[in-house]
Amino acid sequence: MHELTYAQAINEGIREEMRRNQKIMVLGEDVGKYGGVFGVTRGLFDEFGGERVRDCPLNEAAIVSFAIGLAIQGRPAIAELEFMDFTTFAMDPITNQAPKLRYFWGGQVSVPLTVRTPIAAGLGFGTQHSQSLEAWLIHVPGLKVAMPSNAYDAKGLIKSAIRDPNPVVFAESIGLYATKGQIPDEDYTIPFGKAEIKRKGDDVTLVALGLLVPKALKAAEELAGRGVDVEVIDPRTVAPLDIETIIASVKKTGRLVIAHVASKTGGIGAEIAQQVVERAFDSLDGPPVRVAAPDVPIAASAQLESAIIPDVADIVKACLSFRNARA
């Protein structure tokens, strides 16, 4: 085992895959000598050279389109978009081209494309650089979406994404880049569509995504001191979504809380809640509760942003709402 930060784990996963497969290329803005705007691609240019680690124009649509062209020719491509908000500039290639090409051609072509894009919520980057848009992306059949919450998962999932013959959006949390974790020395991958139960409990099922997973675990520890035993589930990928693990937990606890950074309306929380209601309604002691950002633009002001982004106290309050309802 060795210790890496979340960002270093992604870098190591990419590096190992590029060594394993000489056809893999990395494309993006400042991903070369500069090493990426947040340093995640640092050192890749020095090892693999400018032919495989390509700096591109400031044009997200072009970056992803170039990457799709490489992918369908048998060259797995990793496209970096500097903020998740910038996927909006590349929505046609991400949602209208890459996920559909295999279908168009009756399975005769694969699209091994990984679009890496960080979520900056909570860091003061403002409304055009802080959005969590994963719910937009899961609406598109054929597109996979990963949201790792720790260094171990980040490395295992990025390797799975690169090896996948289908397009993947890999949503990283900038707020987690500096967090550290133990990484096995041997090669490993993490399958898509397999959630992890981060903490077992019997009273409330708490599903948390990305940046909110560590906060959910802190909330669970605080709630344990109040006599509430919380089971924390990290889906790890939201497309495919491991709803079976969530439903099995709800059948045990009877209560469901979903926590994510994205705006509440139309978010992942709504989808998870509805699937649970459809398939485990009789097991619920009350309606699912969503912890999410309000439907307002994310401010750059630290004080205003902190009022928007869900925190430990918000999660604790949501889990206690079941007890209050019974009272």
Q: Say if residues 260 and 294 touch (Cβ distance below 8 Å).
A: no
Contact 275, 207 (CB under 8 A): no
Q: Which two tokens stand for residue 165?
A: 């013959």
Dihedral angle computed from the Cα positions of residues 313, 316, 318 and 321, in that order, rounded to the nearest 10 degrees: -120
Q: Is the dihedral of CA 325, 197, 132, 35 positive or negative?
A: positive
State how far the Cα of 40 lies from the Cα of 42, in Å rounded to an integer. 6
In degrees rounded to 5, what are phi and psi of residue 206? -115, 110
Query: What span, in angstroms and rounded, lies between the C-alpha atoms of 104 and 109?
Result: 9
Close Cβ partners of 326 (under 8 Å, ≥ 6 residues apart): none
DSSP classification of residue 124: S
CA distance 285 to 263: 25
What's the CA gap between 156 and 93, in Å, rounded? 26
Annotated catalytic residues are: 129
Spatial CA neighbour of 255 closest among 278, 287, 292: 287
DSSP string for residues in 136-149: HHTTSTT-EEE---
CA–CA separation, 28 and 116 (whole Å):
10
DSSP state of 95: I
